[in-house]
Structure 1
């Protein structure tokens, strides 16, 4: 049996041609790209030129990056060098012959290209990893305050630095500062900026603010998160007396699935091989354990463990026993390569390997993208999660639900009270959903 019958590549002479199709530099057969050289050798030359200064010298800082790029998929690297704005930014930085740092990248336009370049430099060891959620909040704050009147900034910056950013920094150091937390912090700073502008428009300042004026502002803007700014102002005696910004409580959950719908969707996730693998995993974890999409996307492959008595997934700190079929889906997802061509494949070393990798694979997939994908396949997230939570707290003590699902104990107790006090509302919501 010859190589062609085995489905293997043939060299030129074996195929009856006098041309051997071997790279004239490295001898690799096939896929000649340019000037008699294979794609990897051509891309290696281009990477060297891209990262070197005018004299052809490559900075020591960029050598790990060159090694990773030349070892990656040559077609993906070549396309990135030729078409990416991030690659042009990298070439400009390399030509300056100065050390590349996070501060240097912070001075550039903060768009997708800059973020991708930063992640590439971190993944290859050129830059140290940092908490991007916290770092982006600081950059956003500087941009938000830029151009505001100095009198407003003198109040707003101390509030942002000592109230919002200080707490965010603590959570970042504990590794618990999430994109959702950063979004809430930005909303609180935006509310303070908007409130300061309103005070000026009303010819007021914090020293002349009354509860009546504050209530007037709150009545027209009930969703603004101004409570943190008011508490900070009162604590520092910037207001003439004690003021209260009563928060607008979010409504109790109203979107549910019936038990039949919930179980049918779970069966789809576990059994329907036509669904994308990531859809099946996200859908099953949401319907079995009430996990929000954001938490699922943060799961790394080392959270999955197979033991003698079954397979476990550590969601928070406690391992959760998985149904055998879901365990096989997660095992398959963890073992398969990245589903798209990337400059870098799954990260190695100390970098996390996400169960649902994004672009680049050193970052998880975006929540917005997963939500859109789930909706396209008729698997809504919020109603399914609400149903899972209320069914769980109806059967389990809140502290057990807290440990099992990795949620805060206060959240578990609120769900338990809701399940106990509003079971009729839940059934009514299910009936309305069925209509």
Structure 2
């Protein structure tokens, strides 16, 4: 094309060039049809189209640049057999394509990612979002954007919603979608299109799906890589997968050739290393601000504990290290973001909350305060205390303050202080379990309060109480009435009432798991590998040895010993040899530890650690877990004790599983075995060795 031609001749020449190129690429399409389509192209579009086909006639097969793609779309609509223009990387159709340096047609999104380079500010390889004052590339997160004063928080930030109709600017941090009833799930949630007839929440919003290039599942793509769209599970797995590079021999993330069979790292393949943590340099899935999850956790927890200072206070260093050592950094990050205890920790670090038990007791969020209390006690920021005993004292103080008349309050306060709580404190000083059980003690005080109220309603003074009145109370006020015995004994010792008799309550029995069901449950616990190891070991100890849940949760790793091939557990004075395969399960639990332990929990030595730092699992929680497997603690324990009592003498049973001798004798008697001749049989046994 020369400049001596007239404009009309130039246009005609360009059209002939395009028609000839189309005829060569698809001879099956009639020339007059092609001519009619090309005649509709004019101006700059025709110039670009002619120039692209003159430079590379194969551009029709690629479908790029945009003018060529539009022509191919029109030709296909007219019956052409040319391939549908699609992105060479992600396979997307319908998008206007751009030719890269290798001649491939890419959609704008893939071309944008193909041109990714290191951001001049954060250093992360990302698509270019803008340029700084020196013309250097910066990512979208770091690019300069106009900032204005937020009408909600007052900070100078990027605006997420512009001011309109009298409403102020709202920054990206303060903006929330308006609430409406979602047209899909029917729940009231923040929704897009809230002012229309079809509001939709974020969960129900449709997401475009595509077959994953790795697993083949039709899922929303998390990324579009050279091999094609990749779903989120495959995307995460690929970013965390490490292998031995075939070129340099180092263990790194392998990226070339594209796909799960990659053998070469980014450096050896001559590609920019992407998804590299800005702090530690590891190639991993990044969480925020160019940091991997562990580094983001370290950064955020340090910012929370520093409370605006340059570094974390020395007193909180242990807490910071415990948070950073969380087994699952994503859970820890979520706790820092939404956990109520994390908010209390921030208040404590900033000095808004005193580091005392009293301050935590007064906080309205009791669960959060208890969680933080355990964390602080585990790291010696608070002195250890018996929480069960402290709670019992608080509850009884509040309950007694409401007692009327005053003379009853005085007597009951003296009983609670010098009899009940004193006994609890003494028991707490010598206890071996991690908790002091206070329910029965509190029940005695509550029954005494009810009893004095009952006497007051009848117009009877405590000093005038007689046996007939007491018998009336015992026979008309329910099974808990007999718990008045301890109060009356105390009152008699102090001459508040004459000596009276309260009959001993009969030992209550209940249903027991049948022997066949016990054996079936044990078989499942011992051999079903789909069950969690914690539940398998705890359930087996209950069904084999009749151990209480409170004693199972209080087991420590020191109570598990191994002598050669034999594994022992010590419940009482004697060690119990564990049968196979329970011994392997116990050793594995001791070695691996229970999963899902609480955040910031230091090494405690508990075999069943709980969610509170330094504390074991609670019996109620363990009981709920076992009930889901069909193991009911009370019925299962009765069945186990019945079996053991029928096989062992009471003295052996008591020492073996830490039962009181009287209790062991009662169980043995209930099963019909007295073992009266046991000692004589041992004497006559020549093979017996004491």
With normalisation by structure 2, the TM-score equals 0.55
Higher-Rg member (1/2): 2
1:364 and 1:105 mapped to 2: Cα distance?
Answer: 21
2:500 matched to 1:243? Answer: yes
Work out which of the residue numbers 360, 365, 376 in structure 1 matches 2:628: 376
Change beyond 3 A, Cα 1:157–1:62: farther
Work out which of the residue numbers 445, 448, 452 in structure 2 matches 1:192: 448
SS for the counterpart of 2:568 is strand
Work out which of the residue numbers 293, 304, 322 in structure 2 matches 1:39: 293
Q: Name whichever of 129-138 and 78-87 sits farther off.
A: 129-138
Change beyond 3 A, Cα 1:193–1:387: same
Match of 1:393 in 2: 645
Matches within 5 A, 1:129-168: 129-149=384-404, 150-168=406-424
Change beyond 3 A, Cα 1:384–1:8: farther
Change beyond 3 A, Cα 1:397–1:135: same
Work out which of the residue numbers 381, 386, 390 in structure 2 matches 1:126: 381
Q: Name whichever of 367-376 and 309-318 sits farther off.
A: 367-376
SS for the counterpart of 1:237 is coil
Match of 1:228 in 2: 486
Report which of the two has the higher share of strand. 2
2:582 matched to 1:330? Answer: no
SS for the counterpart of 1:363 is coil
1:341 and 1:12 mapped to 2: Cα distance?
Answer: 37
Does the Cα contact within 8 Å between 1:119 and 1:362 map onto a contact in 2?
yes
Measured against aligned partners, the alpha-carbon deviations of 1:248-285 in whole angstroms (never above 9, x if no partner) come to: 3232x342344444333333332233433233222322
Change beyond 3 A, Cα 1:256–1:34: closer
RMSD: 3.0
Q: Name whichever of 202-211 and 310-319 sits farther off.
A: 202-211
1:148 and 1:94 mapped to 2: Cα distance?
Answer: 41
- Uncovered stretches (5+) of structure 1, i.e. residues with no partner: 423-435
Change beyond 3 A, Cα 1:24–1:2: closer
Measured against aligned partners, the alpha-carbon deviations of 1:190-222 in whole angstroms (never above 9, x if no partner) come to: 212222332333333322323222222222223
SS for the counterpart of 1:410 is helix
Match of 1:9 in 2: 253
1:358 and 1:15 mapped to 2: Cα distance?
Answer: 48
Does the Cα contact within 8 Å between 1:231 and 1:244 map onto a contact in 2?
no
2:598 matched to 1:354? Answer: no
2:332 and 2:425 mapped to 1: Cα distance?
Answer: 36
1:265 and 1:35 mapped to 2: Cα distance?
Answer: 50
1:411 and 1:105 mapped to 2: Cα distance?
Answer: 41
Deviation at 1:242, TM superposition (A): 0.9
Measured against aligned partners, the alpha-carbon deviations of 1:355-391 in whole angstroms (never above 9, x if no partner) come to: 2222136332232333333333233333332222223
2:420 and 2:365 mapped to 1: Cα distance?
Answer: 21
Change beyond 3 A, Cα 1:194–1:383: same
Deviation at 1:112, TM superposition (A): 2.0
- Uncovered stretches (5+) of structure 2, i.e. residues with no partner: 1-241, 255-264, 675-690
Work out which of the residue numbers 181, 184, 205 in structure 1 matches 2:461: 205
Change beyond 3 A, Cα 1:54–1:193: farther
Measured against aligned partners, the alpha-carbon deviations of 1:73-119 in whole angstroms (never above 9, x if no partner) come to: 43222211211112222222333367512233233347322221111
SS for the counterpart of 2:555 is coil
Match of 2:511 in 1: 255
Change beyond 3 A, Cα 1:103–1:327: same
Q: Name whichever of 134-143 and 112-121 sits farther off.
A: 134-143
SS for the counterpart of 1:312 is strand
SS for the counterpart of 2:543 is helix
2:370 matched to 1:112? Answer: no
Does the Cα contact within 8 Å between 1:357 and 1:364 map onto a contact in 2?
yes
Change beyond 3 A, Cα 1:79–1:341: farther
Report which of the two has the higher share of helix. 1
SS for the counterpart of 2:479 is coil
Does the Cα contact within 8 Å between 1:65 and 1:126 map onto a contact in 2?
no
Match of 1:266 in 2: 522
Measured against aligned partners, the alpha-carbon deviations of 1:35-55 in whole angstroms (never above 9, x if no partner) come to: 333333433343233234566
2:308 and 2:410 mapped to 1: Cα distance?
Answer: 46
SS for the counterpart of 1:92 is helix
1:177 and 1:206 mapped to 2: Cα distance?
Answer: 38
Deviation at 1:318, TM superposition (A): 2.1
1:418 and 1:185 mapped to 2: Cα distance?
Answer: 29
Change beyond 3 A, Cα 1:47–1:267: closer
SS for the counterpart of 1:320 is strand
2:436 and 2:269 mapped to 1: Cα distance?
Answer: 59
Change beyond 3 A, Cα 1:58–1:213: farther
1:336 and 1:157 mapped to 2: Cα distance?
Answer: 49
Change beyond 3 A, Cα 1:230–1:17: farther
SS for the counterpart of 1:417 is helix
1:169 and 1:391 mapped to 2: Cα distance?
Answer: 36
2:569 matched to 1:297? Answer: no
Does the Cα contact within 8 Å between 1:168 and 1:177 map onto a contact in 2?
no
Deviation at 1:162, TM superposition (A): 1.1
Does the Cα contact within 8 Å between 2:569 and 2:578 map onto a contact in 1?
yes
Q: Name whichever of 283-292 and 359-368 sits farther off.
A: 359-368
1:145 and 1:41 mapped to 2: Cα distance?
Answer: 52
